[in-house]
């Protein structure tokens, strides 16, 4: 998910009353909710390098164990060297065990949310580069923003931190997080049901059972999905909407997956890195006066490999 979503989750967790467990509680939750995105520094090398490295080592199961400990240590060092500087004791102490607990909770929310979109997650890094996809949420979901922001603002207005101890069920931030969990579960169930209906529809149209299928969430429309189908040597596309009849409509447009003549291009390190990330790769050869090039795109994000962040262009060798 996007940084706004991760930050709002951290802030909502703080407003549930978790921030009162220790000094620097809010800071710990906000930083922890974003910490796995340290791998954004890979963009310094190149966009393709970032595709190769992102959602990997800093998001995997090993990172879930190590990053919270590193964050907790950093918060304790900050408390000792900065917060307590001057010899005057701060009004409330930093509790090491609670800082570790909040770090664990905050860091864990990040890869779980990232797993929910079509970009995917590599849970087993650094031991395996296998990608896992939930195809549940669009990567930028304003409905989630609004839900969490409302819970945070109402909680602050009502002084939810003090109310939580006496009436925890009345905490607006907790209710917002609970509704978020229900929303994610509903979107996940919608994805499973949509995939099944699309498969049955394709068979009814006379097509073979799809080799692979993605029903991707669409922006602003929780009831609609963008469908990519691997059918032999081509990708087919369609749209799905629960409020439409028929719910699934197959487009006539297709993209050939792997035309002849690209084998040599795929040997370049840049191409191998791109393909380690691409989920539905396809290849388009373009003849140029100075030599032929191959455009390689990922059909889950673009059908135009000449102008997209989800595509690269390499010379034929």
Indicate whether 57 pLDDT > 70. Answer: yes
How far is Cα 59 from Cα 57, in angstroms, rounded to an integer? 5
Q: Are 191 and 133 in contact (CB under 8 A)?
A: no
Residue 290 burial (C-beta neighbours within 10 Å; 0-12, 13-18, 19+): exposed
- Nearest CA to 58 out of 47, 71, 45, 46 is that of 71
Indicate whether 207 pLDDT > 70. Answer: yes
Residue 260: per-residue pLDDT: 56
pLDDT greater at residue 263 or residue 105: 105
Indicate whether 161 pLDDT > 50. Answer: no
Token duo for residue 34? 């974003």
Give, as one character, the DSSP assignment of residue 121.
B
Q: Are 235 and 257 in contact (CB under 8 A)?
A: yes
Is residue 125 helix, strand or coil?
coil
Would you call the peptide bond into 126 cis, given omega within 30 degrees of 0 as the criterion? yes
- How open is the CA angle 95-99-100, to the nearest 5 degrees? 120
> Which residues face 214 on adjacent strands?
228
Q: What is the pLDDT of residues 267-288, one digit of tens each?
A: 788 888 999 999 999 998 888 8
Chain-centre distance for alpha carbon 42 = 17
Q: What is the pLDDT of residues 75-121, one digit of tens each?
A: 999 998 888 776 666 678 899 999 999 999 999 999 999 999 999 99
Residue 122: per-residue pLDDT: 96
The Cβ of residue 45 has, within 10 Å, a number of other Cβ atoms equal to 11
Indicate whether 149 pLDDT > 50. Answer: yes
Beginning with the edge strand found earlier in the chain, give each strand of the sheet holding 234-241 in spatial order. 212-218, 221-231, 234-241, 248-256
> Which residues face 230 on adjacent strands?
212, 235
Give, as one character, the DSSP assignment of residue 111.
H
Question: In sequence order, which ranges of 205-285 are alpha helices (DSSP H)?
Answer: 269-277
Give the mean model confidence (pLDDT) for residues 253-277. Answer: 79
Is residue 180 helix, strand or coil?
helix
Longest Cα separation, the chain: 78
Q: Are 239 and 197 in contact (CB under 8 A)?
A: no
Token duo for residue 292? 């032929």
How far is Cα 63 from Cα 114, in angstroms, rounded to an integer? 14
Give the mean model confidence (pLDDT) for residues 234-258. Answer: 94
Residue 78: per-residue pLDDT: 92
Token duo for residue 114? 């990232």
Residue 204: per-residue pLDDT: 95
Would you call the peptide bond into 246 cis, given omega within 30 degrees of 0 as the criterion? yes
pTM of the model: 0.91
């Amino acid at each position: 998910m996007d940084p706004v979503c991760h930050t709002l989750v951290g802030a909502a967790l703080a407003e549930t009353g978790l921030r009162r467990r220790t000094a620097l509680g809010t800071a710990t939750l906000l930083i922890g909710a974003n910490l796995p995105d340290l791998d954004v520094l890979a963009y310094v090398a190149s966009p393709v390098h970032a595709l190769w490295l992102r959602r990997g080592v800093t998001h995997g199961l090993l990172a879930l164990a190590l990053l919270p400990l590193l964050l907790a240590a950093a918060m304790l060092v900050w408390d000792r060297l900065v917060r307590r500087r001057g010899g005057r004791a701060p009004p409330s102490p930093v509790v090491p065990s609670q800082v570790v607990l909040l770090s664990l909770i905050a860091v864990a929310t990040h890869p779980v949310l990232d797993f929910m979109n079509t970009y995917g997650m590599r849970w087993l890094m650094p031991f395996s580069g296998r990608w896992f996809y939930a195809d549940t949420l669009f990567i930028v979901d304003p409905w989630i923003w609004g839900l969490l922001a409302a819970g945070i603002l109402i909680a602050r207005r009502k002084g939810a931190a003090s109310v939580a101890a006496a009436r925890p069920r009345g905490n607006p931030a907790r209710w917002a997080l609970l509704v978020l969990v229900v929303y994610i579960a509903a979107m996940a169930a919608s994805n499973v049901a949509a995939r099944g209906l699309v498969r049955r529809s394709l068979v009814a149209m006379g097509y073979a059972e799809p080799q692979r299928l993605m029903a991707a969430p669409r922006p602003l429309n929780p009831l609609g999905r963008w469908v990519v189908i691997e059918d032999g040597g081509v990708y087919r596309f369609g749209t799905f909407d629960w409020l439409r009849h028929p719910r699934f409509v197959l487009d006539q447009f297709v993209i050939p997956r792997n035309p002849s003549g690209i084998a040599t291009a795929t040997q370049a390190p840049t191409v191998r890195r791109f393909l380690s990330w691409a989920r539905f790769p396809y290849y388009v050869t373009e003849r140029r006066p100075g030599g032929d090039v191959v455009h390689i795109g990922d059909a889950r994000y673009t059908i135009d490999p000449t102008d997209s962040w989800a595509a690269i262009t390499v010379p034929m060798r």
